[in-house]
Structure 1
Amino acid sequence: MTFPLLPDFLSFLRMCGAACLPPLLAATPVAAQVPVRADSLPGGLAPPAPLIIGAYAQGSFLLDHTYAVQHLVRAHPTGFELNVQRQTTGRQPWHGWYKFPKVGLALVYYNYHNPTLGRSYAASLYLSKSFWRTDRHDLSFRLGTGLAYLTNPYDQQTNHKNTIASSALNATLQLRLEYDQALTERLGLLLGLGLNHYSNGATTKPNFGANLPTLVLGLNYHQRRPAPLGAAPAPAPADVGHYFFNLSTSLGFKQRNESDQTKYAVNSVTAAAGRRLNRKSNLVLGLEGFYDRSLQATLRDTAQDRRQLPDVRKAGAFLGHELLFGRLAFVSHLGFYLYNPYKSNKFYYERLGLKYHFTSRLFGSVDLKVHRGAADVIEFRAGVKW
């Protein structure tokens, strides 16, 4: 599960130089501020987007979600996070459609206090949406994804007890409910309850993944509080109600088991038709074909008669939804196999991913294909839309 670009994030990074670092914090009472509205600025421009810089301590435990990881649940991992986020103010139409979320970058360190697991270092991009926001309070939900480096992955000779991850490089997923209480005009106390997940998407095995329910406590520095927000949301885009077509292909790699270290290529070809339902959503219906070379290797190992092996290629149909954030979309599909001679899995599959439009025609995505909750393969996809 890897991993994304967010709209206007390049400009976000360009603006986050050393000049953005806060001065020494002053303990002053919170002063009421009147938010600047976009319609009060020259030309109706959106106000500048202020920064929020955070430092948090994290306490957690390893969830024994399967018997294969129960022997690793021996200590309570502890971690530390540094993050920087920018409050959207309406410079892009989708900012107002989602009621001005925050866009952020987080760096997370964990010590698992277990020599089998070691430590992890992760970087993730995230989106934080407020449900209740006043001058002094902010209750929000955060969703992020990125990459993680684990120091002690599985090794058949030296670290065979680590069934959580067999590769150093993994994907990470963060879910978190956060509450920020103003202490001073700039300083806020952050309390959070979340879940950190680490997995390599079955690229190598074993891969049972790490699930870390987490309690978070820390401080936020607000460049401006309350943040200035834009005017009313922009009108719906012109393509609402219009149909479109996608043609794409993907490539992924997977390992069969711990004893076979070969990385087998997995390909797919997809043709889909869709309709933009509203400002936030696309509905998609498609047909696709799959060729998983690891199934051919498994079949040859297990078949009694190799002269008449079933076809390992598969074909399916799917219904999907795309949640839109400007050029970025969160993709979710539910598919059913229509052609499946070699019954290596259930008759249905799921897909979760992040899709980014480089132009109005060309797009790329990183998807995780899943069978009944178990990761099957990470797909790197490229396609064209018309």
Structure 2
Amino acid sequence: MKNPKYIAVLISALAILIVTPSSIKAQGFSSFEPEQYDPEVNYGSYNYVQLNYFKGDHAGYANGLPSAFANGYNAAELKLGWQSTGRQEWQRLHNYPVYGLGVFVSTLGDSDIDSVVGAPSALYFFYGEPIARFGDFTFLFDLGIGLSYDFNPYDAAENALNKFIGSKVNLYFNGNMMLYYKVDENIDLSAGINFIHFSNGRSSTPQRGINLMGFNVGAKYNFNPMKSYTQYARPDYRPPIRPEYVVAPKSPLQRYGELQFLASVGTVETEPGETKAEDGSYDSISQQRYTTSTFSLEYAYLVTRTLKLHTGFDFMFDGSMENYHDNVPPGDVDFAGKFMAGYHVGFQYLIERFAFYYALGWYVYKESPTRGTWYMRAGGRIGLTPRLDAHVALKTRNGGIADWIEWGIAYKLRVHGGK
């Protein structure tokens, strides 16, 4: 595994983060009298550290470099996680999920690839939701989203071979289907399959993205840091390592419908060789930056406590479209030539104040054929107020090819049902 120093540094950093606060706070507990201490069933914090190894292949190759990918990729990640107990209803609705922070290091292939594209690392947040539990086994879907770095971006003069990605920092996405086996109170072993994606949403080009598919194996150490506190107040008490899940009635489901208004902006850069000069000829080297925007009106209906279905209309603008009209200089392309409209259907998966957002859309108006016939918009929202959400999503073109990143605000207006 390349860059082992990163693993060592990260393990040391996490150890310091875990041990140091516990030691400091434990000194405060030392002044407590044993009779003041009243432990409850789920006393403490149910944490774990997990180390995973990844091995697999690339989902696609750039022209001229397939042999460099022949041996596939290798990667490792280290996670610090929290196991929920069900004290809050959203945790019970999602089958007592896990969540936390992780670090990721990788090598994409042989030395040629690492020198041209880079050996990506990432910092990310993850969320894992159990699908089923049976005996000592847990089947879980795990999603990690964050920022990746250690890339060698495209440069026309210094790194023209990198046809994959044009920025040093990119989005990191990792989806896993995992099977865990409980060995004892502290140890779990895991195995799974994964899909890893690096992209910048065409904010810098080239933007082919990097897609990795494979398997992973790992080990997880479960612990309860409250043990460091209680040893001073009640030495004979041992906090449980794993929680006892809270079981409680669900609140009544009150279905409702609402209108959602979205306004978002973004920025894109043209691919090398796609920028037109004023006379309409293509410049083989120059890249130019443009603004984008999306305005959506949709109707959403709460079907279950965790799911909304929606449908609506999208009105989109992409300044870079001036380069994609045949035999037309960019200065002659008016607003209509950069405007697109479509309709969509989709869903919003609700996790407390967060929502995973997905929309599948079809164009009804656009003057250039370059965007294909359909698109997707996938991302997330977080509630700022009961009516206002922050919105971040990736809009695609020709199906799954990144078009731009939407940064926006969504306003919700309830029209019927609920309270």
SS at match of 2:177: strand
1:196–1:211 Cα contact (<8 Å) kept: yes
Bigger relative CO (Cα 8 Å, ≥ 6 apart): 1
* Gap regions ≥5 residues in structure 2: 1-13, 24-38, 224-239, 273-284, 414-419
Structure 1 match to 2:90: 94
Corresponding residue pairs, total: 349
SS at match of 1:337: strand
Q: By how many angstroms is 1:294 displaced?
A: 0.3
Structure 2 match to 1:293: 319
- Give the residue type in structure 2 aligned to 1:116: V
Map 1:98-247 to 2 at 5 A. Answer: 98-112=94-108, 113-114=110-111, 115-133=115-133, 136-223=136-223, 225-232=241-248, 234-237=250-253, 240-247=254-261
User: TM-score, normalised on structure 1?
Assistant: 0.81
Structure 2 match to 1:384: 411
- Give the residue type in structure 2 aligned to 1:227: P
Map 1:1-386 to 2 at 5 A. Answer: 17-18=18-19, 49-64=45-60, 67=63, 70-112=66-108, 113-114=110-111, 115-133=115-133, 136-223=136-223, 225-232=241-248, 234-237=250-253, 240-258=254-272, 259-299=285-325, 302-303=327-328, 311-371=337-397, 372-386=399-413
Deviations 1:175-220 (A, max 9, x none): 2122333344312223332121111122222222212223323321
Paired with 1:267 and 1:71, the residues of 2 have a C-alpha distance of: 39
- Give the residue type in structure 2 aligned to 1:99: N
Q: By how many angstroms is 1:107 displaced?
A: 0.6
SS at match of 2:158: coil
Paired with 1:48 and 1:264, the residues of 2 have a C-alpha distance of: 51
User: TM-score, normalised on structure 2?
Assistant: 0.75
Paired with 2:18 and 2:215, the residues of 1 have a C-alpha distance of: 30
Q: By how many angstroms is 1:297 displaced?
A: 3.8
Paired with 1:370 and 1:307, the residues of 2 have a C-alpha distance of: 26
Deviations 1:246-297 (A, max 9, x none): 2221111111212332221001222222221120111222223111100024
Q: By how many angstroms is 1:346 displaced?
A: 2.0
Paired with 1:66 and 1:225, the residues of 2 have a C-alpha distance of: 48
- Give the residue type in structure 2 aligned to 1:178: M
Paired with 1:121 and 1:149, the residues of 2 have a C-alpha distance of: 5
Deviations 1:230-254 (A, max 9, x none): 11352245xx321212222111111
- Give the residue type in structure 1 aligned to 2:371: N
- Give the residue type in structure 2 aligned to 1:110: S
Paired with 1:74 and 1:183, the residues of 2 have a C-alpha distance of: 36
1:68–1:208 Cα contact (<8 Å) kept: no
Structure 1 match to 2:276: none
Paired with 2:64 and 2:307, the residues of 1 have a C-alpha distance of: 39
CA RMSD between the two structures: 2.9
Bigger fraction of residues in helix: 2
- Give the residue type in structure 1 aligned to 2:198: Y
Paired with 2:19 and 2:192, the residues of 1 have a C-alpha distance of: 28
Paired with 1:253 and 1:59, the residues of 2 have a C-alpha distance of: 34
Paired with 1:164 and 1:158, the residues of 2 have a C-alpha distance of: 15
- Give the residue type in structure 2 aligned to 1:86: W
Deviations 1:8-32 (A, max 9, x none): xxxxx9xx7536779xxxxxxxxxx
Change (3 A) 1:77 1:311: closer
SS at match of 1:61: strand
Paired with 2:216 and 2:330, the residues of 1 have a C-alpha distance of: 57
Deviations 1:70-103 (A, max 9, x none): 3541444322211011111123322111211111
Paired with 1:331 and 1:314, the residues of 2 have a C-alpha distance of: 21
* Gap regions ≥5 residues in structure 1: 1-12, 23-40
SS at match of 1:52: strand
Paired with 1:68 and 1:383, the residues of 2 have a C-alpha distance of: 43
Identity fraction in percent: 23
Paired with 2:252 and 2:68, the residues of 1 have a C-alpha distance of: 51
